[in-house]
Structure 1
Amino acid sequence: MKSIKAIVGSAAVLGAVVAGAVLPASAASAATPSCTKAEAWSNGVLVPVSSGGKAKCSLVKGANNAAVGALQLALKICYSQSITVDNSFGTNTFNALKAAQTTAKIGVDGSYGPESAANLKLSWYGDNPTKADCHVNDQIDEVG
């Protein structure tokens, strides 16, 4: 019969192996910084960016900042979604983003990350933007 020490030791090893298997996935998602602000780029597009100015950033339900507002403006203007631009990523923004992801034929998960940043149209920043002012961010790979 195995001793309790041997069973606990085996459980600890198994736990470490399982934790190791899980860590790479969380490490990969941690590599994408959160979008925290919005910047008007030289091409006139309002872009959600990280605090370090990177456009390859992420936004998820619960975020509250200017980057969310830039995304909401794009969803409203470029994808005709009936949402309020209030800088708060709630259920309406989540559902509107899923609809835009479906239209863009990219992964549909309701979160904004590098794939959405590279493929969704963003709105021009200025007075009375229209659908004609929406563009896929062609500078995403140059600036990151």
Structure 2
Amino acid sequence: MTKDDIYGLTKAETRLLEVLVNPESVGKSVKYICEQAKISRNTYYKVMKKEKFKHIVKDSVLESMRGNVASILNATYINALSPKGHQDRKLLLSMLGIYSEKQDVNAINNTVTVIHDDILSIEDVMKVMTTEQLKVLAGYDEDDDI
């Protein structure tokens, strides 16, 4: 059974869908996408106006991402450990529930207390992060002792 059978798409719509769900197409121009899908710009805009097609693209991208979550998280993790990985560090810490934008934090008696009454001990942070990760987050060099 092909995508044409499942979604009732034309061959041009199927080719466009395949290009749109390809991670290499993210951020590419309409011209590039049309060339890859072997469709005209007119066809692209006509198809992209269809609500059903937009839902199919969204569902297909989400399904593809679900199938690659481990790879995505691994790439995010690796980038977070690099000197320029600030946004990835924020993302990972937010996912772990130990970072939140614009909160006042006080460190008292080895406990981090967030104004919104969320309490996270230093021990909790240490459980989910390795020493190397903590060094990077704290701005230490890899050889520094903490």
TM-score range, shorter chain: under 0.3
Q: What is the TM-score normalised by the length of structure 1? A: 0.23
Q: Which has the higher contact order (CA 8 A, sep 6+)?
A: 1
Higher relative helix content:
2
Q: What is the TM-score normalised by the length of structure 2? A: 0.23
Higher relative strand content:
1
Q: Which has the larger radius of gyration?
A: 2
